[in-house]
Chain A
Amino acid sequence: MTKVGFMTRFLPTAWGYLTNLFVIAILVLPLLVLVTGALQNERDLLAHSESLLPAHITFDNVVNLALGHQGSDLPEQVRFYPRAFFNSAIISLSVTLIVTILGSLSAYSIVRLRFPGRRTMPYGILSVRMVPLIALIIPLYMMMARSRLLGTPLAIIIPQAGLFLPYTIWILISYFASLPSELEDAARIDGCSRFGAFLRIVLPLSAPGLSANAVIIFLLSWNDLLLPVIMASKVEQMTLPVLISSIVTLKYFSYTLINAAGLLATLPTLLLTIFLQRYVIRGLTAGALKG
Chain B
Amino acid sequence: MNLPSLLLVVGTIGYPLVYTANMAFRDVGIRSFISGEMPWLGFRNFATVLTDSVFIASFVQTLMFVVVSVTLEVAIGLGIAMTINMRNARIAGLTKSLLLLPWAVPPVVNGVMWSYIFNSKYGTLNAILYKLGLIDGYVQWVSDPTLALAAIVVAYVWRTVPFGALLFHAALQTIPESLYEAARLDGAGAWQQWRYITLPLIKPTLVVVLILRTVFSFMVFDEILAITYGGPGDSTWTAAWYIYSFAFRFYKFGPASAASFIVTLAIAAIAALYVWLFYRRVEV
Contacts and interface: CB of A to CB of B under 8 A. Distances in A.
A129 to B, nearest CB: 8
A19 B127 CA distance: 25
Interface string A163-204: 101100100000000000000000000000000000000000
A262 B113 CA distance: 8
Given A248-B226, A285-B170, A134 B88 contact: no
Given A244-B108, A258-B112, A132 B264 contact: yes
Contacts of A165: 5, 8-9
A266 B106 CA distance: 6
Given A49-B127, A288-B167, A136 B12 contact: yes
Contact of B284 (A106, A110, A143, A290): A290
B23 A139 contact: yes
A69 to B, nearest CB: 21
A273 B113 contact: no
A207 interface: no
Contacts of A135: 16-17, 20, 243, 260-261, 263-264
Interface stretch (B52-60, B90-98, B140-148): B90-98
A13 B218 contact: no
B196 interface: no
A1 interface: no
A49 B5 contact: no
A139 B21 CA distance: 10
B229 interface: yes
Interface stretch (B63-71, B180-188, B266-274): B266-274
B41 interface: no
B33 interface: yes
Contacts of A102: 4-5, 8
A277 B109 contact: no
Interface in B136-187: 158, 162-163, 166-167, 170
A288 B212 contact: yes
Given A33-B113, A128-B9, A106 B33 contact: no
B128 interface: yes
A130 B17 CA distance: 12
A27 to B, nearest CB: 5
Given A109-B2, A222-B106, A30 B100 contact: no
Nearest to B91: A20
A77 to B, nearest CB: 13
B19 interface: yes
B84 to A, nearest CB: 8
A289 B108 contact: no
A130 B271 contact: yes
Interface string A118-144: 000001001110111111111111110
A162 B2 contact: no
Interface string A196-235: 0000000000000000000000010011011001100000
Contacts of A46: 122
B16 A20 contact: no
Interface in B14-70: 14-17, 19-20, 23, 33
Given A132-B219, A136-B17, A138-B20, A17 B2 contact: no
A21 interface: yes
A128 B19 CA distance: 16
A161 interface: yes
Given A34-B109, A241-B109, 15 more contacts: A16-B83, A31-B102, A126-B274, A134-B244, A136-B20, A138-B253, A138-B260, A141-B247, A161-B12, A244-B109, A258-B116, A261-B112, A262-B113, A265-B106, A288-B163
Interface of A: 9, 12-13, 16-17, 19-24, 26-28, 30-31, 33-34, 37, 45-46, 48-50, 52, 102-103, 105-106, 108-110, 113, 123, 126-128, 130-143, 145, 158-159, 161-163, 165-166, 169, 219, 222-223, 225-226, 229-230, 240-241, 244-245, 248-249, 255, 258-259, 261-263, 265-266, 269-270, 272-274, 277, 280-281, 284-285, 288-291
9 smallest beta-carbon distances between A and B, as pairs: A162-B12, A16-B89, A50-B127, A130-B271, A139-B16, A139-B19, A262-B109, A273-B104, A136-B16
Interface of B: 1-2, 4-5, 8-9, 11-17, 19-20, 23, 33, 79-80, 83-84, 86, 88-89, 91-92, 94-95, 97-109, 111-117, 119, 122-124, 126-128, 130-131, 158, 162-163, 166-167, 170, 205, 208-209, 212, 215, 218-219, 221-222, 225-226, 229, 239-240, 243-244, 247-248, 253, 256-257, 260-261, 263-264, 267-268, 270-272, 274-275, 278-279, 283-284
